[in-house]
Amino acid sequence: MKFGKQPAPVTDINEDKLSVHKPKTEAAGLKAVTVALERAVAQAGVNRTARSLLRLNQRGGFDCPGCAWPESDKKRKAAEFCENGAMSVAEENTLRTVGAEFWARHSIAELAEKTEYWLGNQGRLSEPVVIREGETHYSPISWAGAFDLIGEHIRATTPDRCVFYTSGRTANETAFMYQLFARSVGTNNLPDCSNMCHESSGSALNPTIGIGKGTVSLDDIHDAELIFVIGQNPGTNHPRMLSALAECKDKGGKVVAVNPLPEAGLFNFKDPQTVSGLVGNGTPLADEFLQIKVGGDLALFQALGHLLLAAEEQNPGTVVDHDFINAQTDGFAAYQQSRKELDWDETEKATGLSRRQIEDVAGMLIRSKATIFCWALGVTQQPHSVDTIKEMVNVLLLQGNFGKPGAGACPVRGHSNVQGDRTMGIWEKPQEWLLEALDGEFGIQSPRHHGYDAVESMDAFERNEVDVFVSMGGNFALACSDTEALEAGMQRIGLTVHISTKPNRSHIVHGRTSLILPTLGRTDKDDKHPGGAQFLSVEDSMSVVHSTQGRLAPVSDHLLAEPVIVARMAAAALGPDYPVDWKAMAGDYDVVRDHISRVLPGFENFNERIRHKNGFVLPNPPRDTRSFATDIGKGRFTVSPLEYLTPPPGHLVLQTMRSHDQYNTTFYGLDDRYRGISGGRRVIPVHPGDLAELGFADRDLVDVVSTFQGNDRRAEKFRLVAYPTAKGCAAAYFPEANALVHKENVARVSNTPGFKAMFVRFEPRTGETELGVESASLLEAATDV
């Protein structure tokens, strides 16, 4: 069944009860705890909630699937979780199930009209189902039947017509087996959510500091004198980070927030795990708020580099760490030369900040002896993202902010094991050493040519060059760009296989034949093995590898663990004579870990070390030894031209973001509490001045048109709301706005979609009655924070 034209019904404006109030200026506190517990109990009941939340992020418990922020290796609080972690666990713990009856009741045509919110709320998938060409409904299939079908389809095509997607919840052992499976089939087509997330960070860090990961530990965050939080909304997306920032502040550290939006979590934090946090005033966080224009960060860090070097020239030996630069880096002279002159008019235009503001922040940098830059998607999803991050590295290198306490680079990852998946070899561009090690360990021949990333996979769907698409978690149809083209492309694929916990849009815009394979989640007990219960491992944002083990009884007896699913797919596709013992790995995860310990550096004695109380930390040359394992053996200064986003007349720059009630493409509710937006998601926050200049009013109902290289994309029915965002910049929620992102709009080098770099205009929807909206005046709020 095909349905191409209409935009994906992510949310329906007719179901909105939108109300908009002033954004909050503090995050967490009592409200967060009560919201979390209420939602958890509603989904899973009191007992299940208590059992799961008490094991969240505890030793011997399970790793929170909410984000990749690390746990403390010292004393853990009784409740080492946040509101959003609890909501994400509650989502998984739900007692509602989606089985044969559900699929018999609802045809694909009917489900295609449902919102994603509705779909995700139906419950946990409870048995494998299939839909074949010409059928209107999914129906049950045995596990054996499902694996036979997968084997047949893979054997019937050529390796590079198969694509193996991974979402970042996948644990290390599963990820290792999965990449081995793809390479055994004969392809490096291993796109992952990282391609859409922090790929720009890896692309900038690998050549400059020799590792595609952050260089700080949690202690460093506590000990820093100055922390920048750039393009990140930790109050919603990494709430436990706020306790770490608060600890840094308590010790006298300072925080600079760089963001077009006045995000609540950046300003004040009430730690819900302390009494004063529940009832007191909380800890003020940001000392400076740079309300930057979307895409203006490259200009900002060029200006900061310029100011640091100018200060050094005035007072030699006080700002720049020459010993470090001489011993450990390359390219300083060229960088210094490039930063000599600065066009302040253009810098102010690019950033929307005043020279004075930038000079003040440069002063803070100059005074700090230990600085950390934390960043997330606000700087990774624009055409010039890789250059922006390289420019941030330049400023860190200048002051020698690597390999000393309280200093370093901290890309704050998203999915709880997205970093670990890459460490395990989920990468479409594997390095030769990895392939050689795999070949040596298993006696196989891995393919050497690189595979498709996420955007290239979409292109291949469109060209009809994909016969099998396997999705290890995730919701690719809604996560990637150009929704309409992507959905049409997915429907051309011969077989789509979705290994999932909950129903989502990707199951509905399925291939000609499609399987949904229900799997265990993080909180579920995984004990149907000859050797009894098994545990898995993950790696957090700070390269700490630790174990995770669910304890709850799964909602259905028909769920298989992810490693078992991978093993059985592989066995079905590759046959009994293939030299990898999949069955041994699926039966005992220690076997997988033994293989990993021989293939991946840093995992020596994996099985022993993973059983240590706090797991273990992977080697990190900049952090451990102040050295850089780049091709030249040194840290690298780089020179990038100035670049920022200049929309055509009548257009604004649109960024997409997550709401407070959302985990990527799944929604817990329709509110965005900290931003003061509730009851609806089809909104476009716009600066009041821009609204006036464009001739619109608060609450106008519009269609949004985004333009890229002469081509337009349209998404219907959004409401404009006056909001204190940076001038010239608007925002919309992911994934409602993904239909607006042209797939050609990508970051150079990393090929990450330009999710925060669209040029949009608004077209009034005439002749429609206004929907009921309640809105407090936000005009004064723009200067209120």
- The residue range among 326-334, 445-453, 517-525, 632-640 that interacts with ligand MGD, by the rule CB under 6 A, is 517-525
- Cβ atoms 11, 670 nearer than 8 A: yes
Site string for ligand MGD, 553-582 (x = CB under 6 A): ---------x--------------------
Candidate segments 95-103, 216-224, 359-367, 735-743, binder of ligand MGD by CB under 6 A: 735-743
- Cα–Cα nearest to 301, from 360, 358, 256, 375: 358
Q: In the bound complex, what is the minimum distance in angstroms from residue 658's beta carbon to Mo ion?
A: 9
Q: Are strands 774-775 and 19-20 parallel, antiparallel or unpaired?
A: parallel
Of 53-61, 235-243, 435-443, 688-696, the window that binds ligand MGD (rule: CB under 6 A) is: 235-243
Smallest Cα–Cα separation from 261: which of 658, 651, 644, 649? 658
CA separation for the pair 116, 612 (Å, rounded):
41
Contact status: 357 vs ligand MGD (CB under 6 A): no
Q: Any idea which residue has 């020279």 for tokens?
A: 355
Q: Which of residues 197-236 bind Mo ion (CB under 5 A)?
A: 197
- Give yes or no for a contact between 396 and 46, defined as CB atoms under 8 angstroms apart: no
Per-residue tokens: 779: 């005009």
Rule CB under 6 A: say whether 297 interacts with ligand MGD. Answer: yes
Q: 10 Å Cβ neighbour count for 12?
A: 17
Residue 297 or 456 having the CB closest to ligand MGD = 297
Establish if 203 lies at the interface with ligand MGD (CB under 6 A): no
Residue 468 three-state SS: strand
Closest CA to 780 of 269, 266, 264, 21: 21
| Dihedral sign (CA 65, 67, 70, 72) | negative
Residue 39 binds: one of Mo ion, ligand MGD, none (C-beta under 5 to 8 A by kind): none
Residues 6+ apart with CB under 8 A from 124: 92, 94, 96, 97, 98, 501, 502, 518, 521, 555, 556
Q: What are phi and psi of 241, to 5 degrees?
A: -65, -30
Q: Which range touches ligand MGD (CB under 6 A), out of 342-350, 356-364, 376-384, 392-400?
A: 376-384
Do residues 540 and 68 lie in contact, with contact meaning Cβ atoms separated by under 8 Å? yes
Residues of this chain, 740-759, that bind ligand MGD according to CB under 6 A: 755-756
Q: Of these, 24, 39, 240, 658, which contacts ligand MGD (CB under 6 A)? A: 658
Q: Which is nearer to ligand MGD, 370 or 499 (CB)?
A: 499
Name which of 354 and 625 has its Cβ closer to ligand MGD. 354
CA-nearest of 218, 256, 224, 220 to 238 is: 218
Q: Which is nearer to ligand MGD, 627 or 752 (CB)?
A: 752
- For ligand MGD, the closer of residues 188 and 500 by Cβ is 500
**What contacts 738, CB < 8 A, 6 or more positions away?**
478, 479, 480, 481, 482, 483, 656, 755
Which residue, 153 or 673, is less far from ligand MGD as judged by CB?
A: 673
User: At closest approach, how far in Å is the CB of 197 from Mo ion?
Assistant: 3
Positions 476 through 505 that interact with ligand MGD (CB under 6 A): 476, 479, 499-502, 504
Nearer to ligand MGD, 435 or 781 (CB): 781
**Interactions with Mo ion, residue window 389-428 (CB under 5 A):** 414
414 binds ligand MGD (CB under 6 A): yes
Nearest-CB residue to ligand MGD? 414
From 195-203, 217-225, 326-334, 624-632, span contacting Mo ion (CB under 5 A): 195-203
570: contact with Mo ion by CB under 5 A: no
396, interface contact from Mo ion, ligand MGD, none, CB < 5-8 Å by kind = none
Contacting residue, 141, 570, 585, 737, with ligand MGD by CB under 6 A: 737
Helix axes 30-55, 83-93, angle to 10 degrees: 50
Please name the residue ranges forming H helices in 60-214: 83-93, 100-105, 108-111, 116-120, 143-155, 172-185, 199-209
CB atoms within 10 A of CB 251: 12
Which stretches within 329-453 are classed as H helix?
Answer: 332-338, 344-351, 355-367, 385-398, 418-423, 432-442
Cβ proximity to ligand MGD: between 214 and 447 the closer is 214
Q: Under the rule (CB under 5 A), what is the footprint of Mo ion?
A: 197, 414
Q: Under the rule (CB under 6 A), what is the footprint of ligand MGD?
A: 66-67, 84, 167-169, 193, 196-197, 230-233, 236-238, 258-261, 263, 292, 294-295, 297, 376-379, 414-415, 472-476, 479, 499-502, 504, 519, 521-522, 562, 655-658, 662-666, 734-735, 737-738, 755-756
